[in-house]
């Protein structure tokens, strides 16, 4: 089975929670294993979130395989730092930006709990 098929299969196992809230992300880029000293805030909207990854909309285009260092800001929850790998990114022409799917590869247990607590509030 190819890596792409394995990624799709794994992606289907996670329950996706749609949430249309605005978030701030501070993005740092990893090039050849070295994290950039520069970071910049990328504004976007979180579209989909679970403890395994996220989908967000930004004006920024990311490349498959790119590593990102995120700071996820959710209402009523502590800031959640996470390192993520870009799985896909596609242009949303009519919205003037890009939808990007990432898989978390470093997320603390506290971060996962904060995400779960935030998602629980969406069902209320």
Task: For 40-98, write each residue's pLDDT tens digit.
Answer: 677 778 888 888 999 989 888 888 988 888 888 887 888 888 888 999 999 999 989 99
**Contact between residue 60 and residue 89 where contact means Cβ atoms under 8 Å apart:** no
Cα separation, 18 vs 119, in Å, equals 9
Q: Which residue has the tokens 């800001």?
A: 73
Architecture of the domain whose range is 3-122: Beta Barrel (2.40)
Structure pTM? 0.72
């Amino acid at each position: 089975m190819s890596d792409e098929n394995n990624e799709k299969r794994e992606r289907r196992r996670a329950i996706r929670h749609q949430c249309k809230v605005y978030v701030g992300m501070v993005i740092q880029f990893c090039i050849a294993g070295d994290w950039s000293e520069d970071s910049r805030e990328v504004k976007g909207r979180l579209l989909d979130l679970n403890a395994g990854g996220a989908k967000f909309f930004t004006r920024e285009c990311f490349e498959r395989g790119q590593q990102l260092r995120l700071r996820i800001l959710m209402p009523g929850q502590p800031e959640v730092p996470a390192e993520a790998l870009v799985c896909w990114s596609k242009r949303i022409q009519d919205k003037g930006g890009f939808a990007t799917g990432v898989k978390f590869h470093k997320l603390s247990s506290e971060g996962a709990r904060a995400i779960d607590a935030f998602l629980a509030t969406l069902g209320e």
